Amino acid sequence: MQKITRDILVEKAVSLLENGTVCCVLGWKKGEFDYDVTPALFESKEEIEKDFVYDDFCGANFSKYLVKKTIKAEGKILVFLKPCDTYSFNQLLTEHRFDREKVYAIGIPCEGMADINKIRAIAGDGISEIKCGEKIVVDTIYGDKHEIDAKDVLLERCINCKSKKHVNYDELLGDEGEVIESNRFDEVARLEAMTPDERFAFWQNELSRCIRCNACRDVCPACTCEKCVFDNPKSGVENKAPANEFEEKMFHIIRAFHVAGRCTDCGECSRVCPQHIPLHLLNRKFIKDIDSFYGEYQAGAEVGSRAPLVNYTTNDLEPSEVFEGRGE
Amino acid sequence: MQRIGVFVCWCGSNIAGTVDVVAVAEALKKEPGVVFSANYQYMCSQAGQDLIKNAIKEHNLTGIVVCSCSPRMHEATFRKTAAAAGLNPYMVEIANIREQCSWVHKEMPIGTEKAIILGKAAVAKVNLNTPLVPGESPVTKRALVIGGGIAGIQTALDIADAGFEVDIVEKKPTIGGKMAQLDKTFPTLDCAACILTPKMVDVAQNEKIRIFSYSEVTDVKGFVGNFDVTIKKKARYVKEELCTGCGACTEKCPMKKVPNDFNLNMDTKRAIYIPFAQAVPKVATIDPDYCNMLKNGKCGVCSKVCAAGAIDYTQKDEFIEEKYGAIVVATGFNPISMDKFDEFAYNQSKDVITSLEFERLTNAAGPTAGKLLRPSDHKHPEKIVFVQCVGSRCDACNEKGKEYCSKICCMYTAKHAMLTRDKYPDTEVYVFYIDVRTPGKNFDEFYRRAVEEYGVHYIKGMVGKVVPEGDKLIVQASDLLDNKQLKIEADLVVLAAAIEPDKSARPLATLLTASMDTNDFFTEAHPKLRPVESPTAGVFLSGACQGPKDIPETVAQAGAAASKVIGLLAKDKLTGNPCVAHSNEMMCNGCSSCERVCPYGAITYEDKEFRMPDRTTLMRRIAVVNPAVCQGCGCCTVACPSGAMDLKGFASEQIIAEVDAICK
Amino acid sequence: MQVKEYKPLIVAFCCNWCSYAGADLAGNNRLNYPADVKIIRVPCSCRVNPMFVLRAFQRGADGVILCGCHPGDCHYTSGNYYTRRRMALLFSMLDYLCIERERTRVEWVSAAEGAKFAATMNDFAEKVAALGENKRLEDLRCKK
Amino acid sequence: MLKCSYDALNGIFAKIAENAKLYLPADKDGKTDYTKWAEGVEWSNALNTARSPKDFFFPQVEDLMKFKVEGKSIAIDDIREESEDFVVFGVRACDVRSFDILDRVFLIEPYDSYYASRREHGVIISCACTRPTETCFCKTFGIDCTNPGGDITVWRCEDALYWQANTEKGEKLLGTLGLESADESAVNAQKEQTARIMEKLPLAKLTTEGFGGGKTMELFNKPEWKSLSEACLGCGTCTFVCPTCQCYDVKDFNTGNEIIRYRCWDSCMYSDFTKMAHGNNRLSQVERFRQRFMHKLVYYPENNEGIFGCVGCGRCLAKCPISMNIVKVMKTIGGSAE
């Protein structure tokens, strides 16, 4: 359950909208069911009061929307940012992707978001109602009722939450949290410890499911290119479908490389992948390597910080030393 | 579609010995775009080049591939050949089938196969080549010289002499620099003032030269040919244009106890002062740290005595923005501080002095009016010990001094010793040295005269300690040649302090994006072949800011730097290397990744309005590469995630085409 | 059918100022290395995009090596420092996806190191040959 | 009507697999997808697969031909694979309808011989639904999930699996399996039970009212398109999981030695969809978004006797990264709001 209620956010949004501080509000909109929340741009008090939600299904990170929405907006946009969203927000500012002056950012606390796939695995088909309270209570049309501990159905990124701290905001609602010592690299380490054949099989299996729908890229706050290399016939890597294993790998290697040092590990790619490919394990591999090769670096922690791939020291690790002490 | 000609060179038997050149030419004929193919014994010969020229004309070739030696050898040759036949020189690609094929592979079939593949890669690349035209940028025909010592003066005079405008920025109230403080100059012993001050006057009178004295450079923007420089004119509280330099104020100022830095604080001056009689500009300056009027508003004497009405207590620092085509750094040197050298008792005894202080003591315009008197009791010293290499040639681990040789000390010490003995034959002079280094015209002769004609005691060995005892200085030293310890009761000890770059050089280097070595000397573009240029285009080096130098060397380098500047300013336009980065503004995100990796600061950003396909307009931040500054490394092309940044001549598509051709 | 002897295909990206000159020097001194090594000249090692490396593997290369000036000697002052970071991360990622780590290498070769260039290429070609054909990052469409 | 026991099923699968490749839904890593049957592959109980079975007839990537260019001559190599016979087992009613929708696109002039060949060689064995889920709305489009069609239909009843052939192709295959005959009572009971569940589905009342041929002018300029598409990322998830999306791009891949001409799925949600020399047809995401839904709900029925281009499988409801979908569009734009 989220500590901050929908009503507080609605009240805030309405007052800022009515006093003219902002011209519109980026928020989560009620869906058809209790879990299919959609990001939406609210422009009136009525819309907000009717459809605004904030519950355990508000995973969407709004930072990226600011790139396009701030250009069009007449005034400031109110955006609600969970702690992890603020890192993406900062990274986009570092890259000059939107005008900070056109945003009114409210930091809101987050207790972790629920993964509907995990709920479905427990509750089965025909979910008719989900109540997010102390427990997540799920009813189905088949008459089943499940009381689920929210901790058991968290999104992967929330299980490994790296920070409850907001690194950028104009106003903070609720209490400020701390940066957390997470175990987010454990899974990467587990893969690293596999034999090459096991690991090869693992990735082969995962990446073979890719349908190149580009959801990972299109949701990624680090992927804001005007023209993506994968859409550009002149880039040499453009393709609309993964024709074979090579193209599956290439897409994900290049994508991870392009966001390396800029990826804040917000986890949106894995959250939206329709094929449930653990894409965060590619991004985290780069983050883990960067931390161990060049010192810890959290993209988005500070506006204007120099990303590791546009930086160097004269005594950096040599590529030949990457595998030293990492036996086969 | 290109019309490509392939020219396979035999290089006598160098290539033809292990590569079947006929087979290569035949195989490449089948490649897409190739309409002509030939082989010849020596493509680089006149006949070979004529063959290429004729083929270009006859077959309307749009690009050529020469399969020959390394492009490092003859790329320029064949580009000229192409240009002579009316083909853009950048439509030429070389397949290196000699150094990287025929010379490293022994068997004909292997060499031939590889040569064909290398040829195919070059053909694949040429297919994607586009004619390149070097970018042009205008040149502002004015130079800036930073530093008004002999280096800066000479550079400015030489540039002005060629008809170009020059500005000198000097942080002190007068130009002249270190040379103005010297007495005589080695090895000819002419008086420094006699040869320097006429040059200073020349500078003042030259219509092409402006002097910004008591001024500093605070900002530098732009690039070769087009620098925008901000100069801070510090408030001197005297209107330069009104001051006649009569000196009335400097005589009447009641504040008499201002340390006189021109005389290395061995005497005092007034709070309003003119550093020395021949100062240029000869204008008074008020030292705000001592002036009562400026400190607490009480006094105003100078203003009252100034007939010209030049005094202005309200003057403020003034910032001037100027454009320059070239910048010469001539920031010079200083002796290092002796604070860390306690063993020589520099801070304990007034009679332990540095060589530059000695210069002032022997200078007729100095604190003692040229009489050699001890600073402590103004007595004539009867025994003088000179110590060489104080802080020079130290171990790398020695934090006190410098590793390098300061170069000028051996000669000026010989000069000091000789002049002392000449003027005061009753004075005993000892010189302690590690080595005496005298490589220079008439240098060794000069040193030998000091020893042989003037009876200076040269002792190989280092002084261990100087202990003040009563009015004497006990110098403990070792004589390495006689292998004995010495104890000399001296009246005066003169330390040949190492020299180091002026402290203002480091921040200036940052402003100029010019590189420096670990000792803060500016680095040259090439230590042997481009010794007066900095790696930053348009920035030149003159004098001791680049390394220790004596006056003749400094003047020589000043002239060399001037000639480089003149060469630059003589051009109306600069043409650059056309193989530079270029950003496709339609794809650029303005994310700054490219800018951050650019070593030359060639990338800037601008907000540009775009007309979108749906007929709306959109303001977007985009990267702009300055082709005059870009050196074409291509680092930005990889930093750019969208691929908006590409490198002309080495475009991603071209490199990928080469990869494909090699792998197929 | 005659079994063709396996020959690895190696793409070497060499920077114009040091390594390409080093390769030329190897030629001047007639130092042998396998003809399987094909050199592509780039202005600086920092011009090499990871996409080029993958492209080479896609098109059938069995090994890819980047050669540049020694750190600190870059003609463009800092290009190879960026190369060093980019390739360290890329190679680590390729290893993570189980592309054999001996198939990729970065080596600093100066213009004076003709012998080092030849020795590096001999060694690299030998190691790649020992691995056999690149099966883990191949595009079957590009195989003959 | 025929039936078999669940114990016998493995043997029956083996028999089918003797003459044709058999694909059926199987679970792997918590996900269900069509898998080539082999000994040990278990038929999944899941309602439906993540990827739709349209891949069998219209694969995401399909090589069309190869050609070599030398000088001015082009040598074309027909690389069409001689399609093998295959059987897709366990297809749900919604997906069965999708083949009908695809047929109406690919089997009219210009006739798509690649698709046709695969259709000819494929036998579809459908499976009636018993546990529809909240995202199901096949009924909206007149699909009876208890009577899914295809060449053969199976009903998964408690006591046995019931089989019925619907086409000649189906009869032929079913005849080779040696199943015992059965009465229809168990199947009928199941149908009734499922029908009752269908009534309870949250989307049971969703209708196509307000949509269909002839509604173009009425719907095209509705202002709601803007807010509906506001958060659309422009990714291709909905189109790629959709069993009826049939757009493709034809591309050439130069291997260095030859050129492979192939086609692959494309998405009308992409900004470079059907981009031509003059630029893009649809310049903004609103237009692209509108196109997809107008196509399914207006243009397609206009050209196909009122048959809608959506089958209500619910995949896009489950997979859209921002949870925008056809149901939300229908409720906002059409007349079927509760």
Q: Which residue of chain B comes nearest to D256, CA vs CA?
A: B664
Give the SS3 label for residue B90: helix
Statement: residue B79 has pLDDT above 90: yes
Rounded to the nearest angstrom, the minimum Cα separation between B4 and chain A is 22
Q: Where are the domains of chain C?
A: 10-142
Q: Which of B173, B184, B543 is nearest to B355 (CA)?
A: B184
Q: How much is the pLDDT for A145?
A: 95
Q: How much is the pLDDT for B628?
A: 84
CATH of domain C10-142: 3.40.50
CATH at residue B613: 3.30.70.3270
- Residue bearing tokens 């190691």: C127
In chain A, beta strands by DSSP E: 24-29, 38-42, 52-53, 77-81, 103-107, 127-132, 136-140, 145-148, 171-172
CB C85 within 8 A of CB C57: no
- In angstroms, what CA-CA distances link A189 with A281, A285, A321, B277, D254? 10, 9, 18, 77, 39
H-assigned helices in B320-406: 355-362
Q: How much is the pLDDT for B117?
A: 97
List all residues 6 or more positions away from B121 whose beta carbon is below 8 Å from its beta carbon.
B95, B657, B658, B661, B662, C38, C40
Instruction: Render A132-195 in DSSP notation, one character per residue.
Output: ESSSEEEEETTS-EEEE-GGGGB-HHHHT--B---SS-SEE-S----B----TTHHHHHHHHS-
Same domain, B387 and B482: yes
Please return the burial class of B17, using the count of CB atoms within 10 Å of its CB with bins 0-12, 13-18 and 19+: middle
| Touching chains, A (3+ CB pairs < 8 A) | B, C, D
- Chain C residues 79-138 with a CB less than 8 Å from chain B: 79, 82, 86, 118
Q: How much is the pLDDT for D335?
A: 62
pLDDT confidence band for C73 (50 / 70 / 90): confident
Query: Does B596 contact A71 at a Cβ distance shorter than 8 Å?
Result: no
Query: Does B597 contact C82 at a Cβ distance shorter than 8 Å?
Result: yes
- Residue bearing tokens 């190679």: C91
pLDDT confidence band for B523 (50 / 70 / 90): confident
- In angstroms, what CA-CA distances link C79 with A258, C16, C41, D127? 18, 12, 15, 62
Query: Does B642 contact A225 at a Cβ distance shorter than 8 Å?
Result: yes
Tokens coding B629: 């500054």
Q: List CB contacts (< 8 A) between A286 and chain C.
A: 89, 93
d(CA B116, CA A253) in angstroms, rounded, equals 33
d(CA A256, CA C89) in angstroms, rounded, equals 11
pLDDT confidence band for D83 (50 / 70 / 90): confident
Same domain, B341 and B302: no
Query: Does C24 contact B100 at a Cβ distance shorter than 8 Å?
Result: yes
Same domain, B368 and B243: no
Does residue B286 fall inside a structural domain? yes
Q: How much is the pLDDT for D337?
A: 44
Q: Which residue of chain D comes nearest to A121, CA vs CA?
A: D30
Q: Which of A256, A262, A270, A300 is nearest to A113 (CA)?
A: A270
- Residue bearing tokens 């946009």: A77
Instruction: Render A190-204 in DSSP notation, one character per residue.
Output: HHHHS-HHHHHHHHH
- Residue bearing tokens 């000088």: D71
Q: List CB contacts (< 8 A) between C130 and chain A.
A: none
Q: List CB contacts (< 8 A) between D200 and chain A.
A: 128, 141
Q: How much is the pLDDT for C1?
A: 42
At residue B48, φ and ψ (nearest 5 deg) are -65, -45
Statement: residue A107 has pLDDT above 80: yes
Given CA atoms D38, D41, D43, D44 in this order, what sign does their dihedral have?
negative
Average pLDDT value for chain C: 92
Q: How much is the pLDDT for A326?
A: 60
Tokens coding D95: 């997906």
pLDDT confidence band for D256 (50 / 70 / 90): confident
Domain holding B71, by residue range, is: 4-126
The rounded percent of chain B whose pLDDT value lies above 70 is 100
Which of B32, B613, B660 lies closest to D283 in CB terms? B613
Same domain, B483 and B586: no
Q: How much is the pLDDT for B36?
A: 97
Rounded to the nearest angstrom, the minimum Cα separation between C12 and chain D is 19
pLDDT confidence band for B583 (50 / 70 / 90): very high
pLDDT confidence band for A325 (50 / 70 / 90): low
Q: How much is the pLDDT for A328?
A: 46
**Across residues B251-279, what is the average pLDDT?**
94
Helix axes B443-452, B409-423, angle to 10 degrees: 40
Does residue B547 fall inside a structural domain? no
Query: Does C46 contact B597 at a Cβ distance shorter than 8 Å?
Result: yes
**Across residues B606-633, what is the average pLDDT?**
89
H-assigned helices in B42-101: 46-58, 71-84
Does residue B532 fall inside a structural domain? no
pLDDT confidence band for C2 (50 / 70 / 90): very low
Domain count across chain B: 4
Domain boundary among the residues B107, B126, B145 is at B126
DSSP state of B434: S
Please return the burial class of D186, using the count of CB atoms within 10 Å of its CB with bins 0-12, 13-18 and 19+: middle
Q: How much is the pLDDT for B514?
A: 77
CATH at residue B276: 3.30.70.20
CATH at residue B448: 3.50.50.60
Statement: residue B614 has pLDDT above 80: no
Query: Does B98 contact C27 at a Cβ distance shorter than 8 Å?
Result: yes
Average pLDDT value for chain B: 94
Q: Is any Cβ of chain A less than 8 angstroms from the Cβ of D234?
A: yes
Query: Does A309 contact C136 at a Cβ distance shorter than 8 Å?
Result: no
pLDDT confidence band for B287 (50 / 70 / 90): very high
d(CA D222, CA B523) in angstroms, rounded, equals 69
Task: Quick: pLDDT tens for B62-71.
Answer: 999 999 999 9
Q: Is any Cβ of chain D less than 8 angstroms from the Cβ of B30?
A: yes
pLDDT confidence band for B399 (50 / 70 / 90): confident
**Across residues A269-291, what is the average pLDDT?**
96
Category of B538 on φ-ψ map: left (φ > 0), alpha (ψ -120 to 50) or beta? left
Task: Quick: pLDDT tens for A120-136.
Answer: 999 999 999 999 988 99
Which of D256, D279, D283 lies closest to B664 in CB terms? D256
Query: Does C42 contact B99 at a Cβ distance shorter than 8 Å?
Result: no
In B326-482, beta strands by DSSP E: 326-329, 333-335, 352-354, 383-390, 428-433, 457-460, 463-469, 472-479
Same domain, B459 and B345: yes
Rounded to the nearest angstrom, the minimum Cα separation between C120 and chain A is 13
Q: Is any Cβ of chain D less than 8 angstroms from the Cβ of B298?
A: no
Same domain, B409 and B464: yes
Q: Is any Cβ of chain A less than 8 angstroms from the Cβ of D256?
A: no
Task: Quick: pLDDT tens for A152-173.
Answer: 999 999 999 999 999 999 999 9
Does residue B209 fall inside a structural domain? no
Average pLDDT value for chain D: 93
- Say if pTM beats, i.e. exceeds, 0.90: no
Q: How much is the pLDDT for A227?
A: 93
Q: How much is the pLDDT for B126?
A: 98
**Across residues D120-146, what is the average pLDDT?**
96
Query: Does C79 contact B660 at a Cβ distance shorter than 8 Å?
Result: no
CB A46 within 8 A of CB A95: no
- Residue bearing tokens 């999306």: D245
Statement: residue D93 has pLDDT above 60: yes
Q: How much is the pLDDT for B618?
A: 87
pLDDT confidence band for D336 (50 / 70 / 90): very low
Statement: residue B365 has pLDDT above 50: yes
| Touching chains, C (3+ CB pairs < 8 A) | A, B, D
Q: Is any Cβ of chain D less than 8 angstroms from the Cβ of C144?
A: yes
| Chain centroid offset of residue A243 CA | 28
Q: Which of B634, B584, B626 is nearest to B608 (CA)?
A: B584
Rounded to the nearest angstrom, the minimum Cα separation between C82 and chain D is 31
Same domain, B296 and B368: no
pLDDT confidence band for D338 (50 / 70 / 90): very low
Same domain, B357 and B472: yes
pLDDT confidence band for D233 (50 / 70 / 90): very high
Q: List CB contacts (< 8 A) between D327 and chain A.
A: 32
Q: Where are the domains of chain D?
A: 2-200, 216-333
Task: Quick: pLDDT tens for B106-141.
Answer: 999 999 999 999 999 999 999 999 999 998 889 999
pLDDT confidence band for D69 (50 / 70 / 90): confident
CB B494 within 8 A of CB B358: yes
Query: Does A196 contact C105 at a Cβ distance shorter than 8 Å?
Result: no
Query: Does D133 contact A126 at a Cβ distance shorter than 8 Å?
Result: yes
d(CA B306, CA B297) in angstroms, rounded, equals 18
| Residue of D275, D283, D287, D289 best to disrupt the B interface, most CBs of B under 10 A | D283
Statement: residue B576 has pLDDT above 60: yes
d(CA C96, CA C86) in angstroms, rounded, equals 15
Same domain, B404 and B350: yes
Statement: residue A174 has pLDDT above 60: yes
Query: Does C141 contact D256 at a Cβ distance shorter than 8 Å?
Result: no
The rounded percent of chain B whose pLDDT value lies above 90 is 89
Rounded to the nearest angstrom, the minimum Cα separation between B635 and chain A is 10
| Touching chains, D (3+ CB pairs < 8 A) | A, B, C
Residue at A87: amino acid letter = Y
